[in-house]
């Protein structure tokens, strides 16, 4: 995992932070910008989509992973920090429907909500 140094705006101190791969940052720092060269890459097990928007609090991770497995969704899991990891578009769609979530930026074959 790549890292970079930034100033913590609360404390004013310099700190090293990790830059997540698979998450598209459109920040002001050049190393944060992971903009694809040809369109948006597909969501695959080797290039999963890590979502903060549909994340849960860390104490709910265990129960959410259990609920996902019980629903029969195999390509979605929640990390220890609560962020959702989607390994396919179909898994993302099933989880969005299961949790009754809305996505205003959904593309073709993605669940936008009802």
Same domain? For 60 and 97 the reply is yes
Q: Which helix (H) or strand (E) holds 67?
A: helix 61-70
The total number of structural domains in the chain stands at: 2
- Count Cβ atoms below 10 Å from residue 4 Cβ, excluding itself: 13
**Phi/psi of residue 53, nearest 5 degrees:** -65, -35
pLDDT of residue 82: 94
Identify which of 85, 80, 86, 84 has the alpha carbon closest to the alpha carbon of residue 59: 80
The whole model's pTM is what?
A: 0.61
Is the pLDDT reported for residue 67 higher than 90?
yes
How far CA 4 is from CA of 19, 21, 50, 80, 83, in Å, comes to: 7, 13, 19, 22, 21
Same domain? For 20 and 67 the reply is no
Same domain? For 64 and 86 the reply is yes
- pLDDT category, 62, cuts 50, 70, 90? very high
What residues make up the domain containing 2?
Answer: 1-37
Within a domain: 113: no
Same domain? For 55 and 15 the reply is no
Contacts of 32 (CB under 8 A, 6+ apart): 4, 19, 25, 26
pLDDT of residue 98: 92
Within a domain: 80: yes
Same domain? For 58 and 85 the reply is yes
- Count Cβ atoms below 10 Å from residue 25 Cβ, excluding itself: 13
pLDDT of residue 60: 95
- Give dist(CA 3, CA 17) in Å, integer: 5
pLDDT of residue 25: 47
């Amino acid at each position: 995992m790549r890292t970079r140094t930034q100033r913590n705006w609360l404390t004013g101190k310099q700190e090293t932070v990790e830059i997540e791969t698979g998450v598209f940052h459109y920040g002001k720092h050049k190393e944060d910008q992971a903009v694809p060269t040809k369109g948006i890459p597909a969501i695959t097990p080797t290039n999963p989509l890590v979502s903060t928007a549909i994340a849960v609090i860390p104490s709910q991770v265990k129960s959410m992973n259990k609920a996902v497995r019980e629903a029969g969704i195999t390509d979605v899991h929640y990390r220890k920090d609560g962020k959702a990891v989607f390994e396919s578009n179909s898994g993302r769609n099933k989880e969005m429907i299961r949790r009754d979530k809305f996505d205003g930026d959904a593309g073709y074959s993605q669940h936008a909500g009802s």
